[in-house]
Chain A
Amino acid sequence: MNDIRAELAAILLNRQLPCGGWAALPGSSQAALEPTALSFLALASGPGRTARDRARQFLLGSQNPNGSWPAFAGDDTDGSWVTSLVLIALRDIVEDTPARLKGFAWLSHSAGKESNWLWKWKFRTTDRHVQFDPDKFGWPWLPGTNSWVVPTASAILAIRGLPCTCGIESIESRQQKGIQMLLDRVCPGGGWNAGNGVVYGVPLAPHPDDTAIALLALNLETQEPAVRRSVEWLERVAPRLLAPWSLAWATLGLAAHGRSVSPLVDTLLHLPELDQIEDTSALALVLLASDCSRGLAAFGVSA
């Protein structure tokens, strides 16, 4: 298995762009922040040290003036959900604290559009096809849109890496509200869809990756029935997953709740054509999940 990991790490290193970032797909020269942050986390040990240094410089150089991070190099400067991922990636680097604090300040002001009183009123009165409590809001993919599961779970994980409130007074209450939002929007049978559990009275089908990311963020909420149902749902579906991205997330999500994931890791590393994975984020995530305790630590989660 170490051979497979070494081979995947070599492929990942080989894809690093001259700017220090990674593109979402091979053949592209457009560095994107999600694959870069995940590759940075995946190359924490071994021969990736120089690559990490270059990636770190790229991440720091990409920060928007308002403290957020863009989705990709050249993006508009409003900021995006990947701000949380970059904050997770840089969490242990003391020298980067000023950049991180600016990022956390931006994150504390970023909120799903349903947090505004007007839209809250609309969702309570006239627009009730999606079943959710607009008082419980989290983070959007990009400003001006609703809260969704992945950006909210990522922000919760990022905030855990903040050693103190550091003058950002609202950050703890936002984190709590984000946790409440995830619990509010769970699918009735457990697991999470992209953002809501019931639309037009019909329960939505959960997604393995969304569920696993939410479970990483909720790994301290083990007594919540919704969390327990979701862990059970993910345990049932994980062995049948055919795609590296979902299987890698499922492995991490279950490991975060103390489940044995050795068989899943074995399956993951023996998926066909692993070396042909185009999606750089998926490649990095497979590396993280293949060494689960290190993968969890990268996200600041202890099993």
Chain B
Amino acid sequence: MTISRRDLLVGAAAVTAGAAVSVPYFMPRCYFVRRPRRSHVAILRVDEYSERIEEILFRGLQLFHIDVRGRVVVLKPNLVDYIPGRAINTHPLLVLAAAECFRRLGARVVLVAEGPGHQRDTQLVLAETGYRQHLQDQRIRFVDLNRDELVRTPLRASYTGMSHLWLPRTVLQADFLVSMPKVKTHHWSGVTLGMKNMFGVVPGSKYGWPKNILHWRGIQESILDVCATVPVHFVIADAIMAMEGNGPLNGTPRPLDRIVLADDPVAADATCAKLMGFDPDRIIHIREASKFLGNASDELIQQLGETIQRPQVPLQVVPEFQYLRAA
């Protein structure tokens, strides 16, 4: 058999093209391991949104070795949009309770900060959800992350292929960042929990409403890059009234009567997923994040509150995510 020069050229081109496609797939996508040796989670029973949440939360926080004395604490709730009757946003009473608890624990400053992903008028969302009045009454400062001063920030993982994001100074300068998600199903990402909640730090003034670049770069991939770059120090998840079905906006309220506290966002999300009746290992960003950002396996998570009770009927999801429901 003779190999012509033309055959060689075609072969070389094919090898080059194959390498171009496959090599990035095998390249490492995270450059560090932040996973703690052991993570701590507390599931606490809370039947309703009321003034009682503060005491329950304070007792829950005391289960952890948190030292926020003299530090700037930023609470990042999930505020997306307001539709009457829908459990879309982290309830303001939980956020107020958290602010008061961190003040009691000695925080120098407690801020609430968010950049809603759908509604450009942040003040309208704050007013309609009741946040504005509560924050004024409690003298808690709110920072609109969609309009905060921006800092060019290299990404600390490369799942999306982006080299950097412009991120709000308030978040980057926080001493202690608390993700406060609403526990919901999500029609594009399966679930939206403590890690997905961090999409709210990506500023609309640069990336638009919604932050469509994150969709195009892959939602699961973007969650990983954002969470690798902006460390979440603590999670307080609102699962008192969760959302199932066509979330994050048009789903149905589903009471789970719990809040979930954790010192590791991956452990928090894995626990919340189980409370929803899902298998966390089937949720791409939780599974991938457990390799470098936190712990998802039961052996590495110490439950400080209630034990995990899966619901008899898992939360409803759109058909594309039926596979998340645990067997």
Residues of A within 8 A of B (CB): 23-25, 28-30, 32, 34, 71-72, 74-75, 80-81, 113, 129, 140-142, 144-146, 148, 150-151, 193-195, 199-200, 202, 204-205, 207-210, 241-246, 278-279, 281-282
Contacts and interface: CB of A to CB of B under 8 A. Distances in A.
A279 B209 contact: no
Contacts of B208: 81, 140-142, 145, 148, 151
B306 interface: no
Given A142-B207, A243-B123, A25 B216 contact: no
A32 B249 contact: no
Contacts of B76: none
B297 interface: no
B153 interface: no
A297 B310 CA distance: 60
B149 interface: yes
Contacts of B215: 145
Given A25-B144, A142-B208, 17 more contacts: A30-B149, A32-B147, A72-B150, A72-B205, A141-B207, A142-B206, A142-B207, A142-B213, A145-B208, A148-B208, A151-B208, A195-B210, A207-B81, A207-B120, A209-B121, A242-B128, A243-B121
A164 B31 CA distance: 53
Interface in B149-195: 149-150, 152, 166, 187
Contact of B149 (A23, A81, A145, A204): A23
A208 B208 CA distance: 17
Nearest to A281: B147
B120 A245 contact: yes
B118 A246 contact: no
Contacts of A25: 144, 147-149
A278 B144 contact: yes
A182 B119 CA distance: 18
Given A30-B149, A242-B128, A279-B144, A209 B120 contact: yes
B123 A207 contact: no
Chain A contact residues: over half helix, strand or loop, or mixed? loop
A140 B149 contact: no
A32 B147 CA distance: 9
A182 to B, nearest CB: 16
Nearest to B126: A243
Contacts of A75: 166, 206
5 contacts: A25-B149, A129-B187, A141-B212, A195-B210, A279-B147
Interface of B: 81, 83, 118-124, 126-128, 144, 147-150, 152, 166, 187, 205-210, 212-213, 215-216, 246, 249-250, 318
Contacts, number: 106
Contacts of B128: 242
Contacts of A244: 123
B124 A241 contact: yes
Contacts of B126: 243
A215 B152 CA distance: 35
A52 to B, nearest CB: 22
A28 B168 CA distance: 11
B120 A32 contact: no
Nearest to B142: A278
Contacts of A246: 121, 124
B124 A245 contact: yes
Given A194-B210, A242-B127, A243-B123, A202 B246 contact: yes
B127 to A, nearest CB: 4
Nearest to B119: A207
Nearest to B132: A242
B212 A148 contact: yes
Contacts of A72: 150, 205-206
Given A25-B147, A30-B149, A282 B216 contact: no
B228 to A, nearest CB: 21
A144 B216 contact: yes
A146 B208 CA distance: 11
Given A34-B205, A193-B118, A242-B128, A204 B249 contact: yes
Most chain A beta-carbon contacts within 10 A, residue among B126, B128, B209: B209
Contacts of A29: 149
A32 B166 CA distance: 13
Contact of B212 (A24, A145, A199, A245): A145
Contacts of A141: 207-209, 212
Contacts of A282: 123
Contacts of B166: 75
Contacts of B216: 113, 144-146
Nearest to B250: A202
A95 to B, nearest CB: 29
Contacts of A243: 121, 123-124, 126-127
A234 to B, nearest CB: 14
A28 B213 contact: no
B78 to A, nearest CB: 17
Contacts of B120: 150, 194, 207, 209-210, 245
Nearest to B164: A76
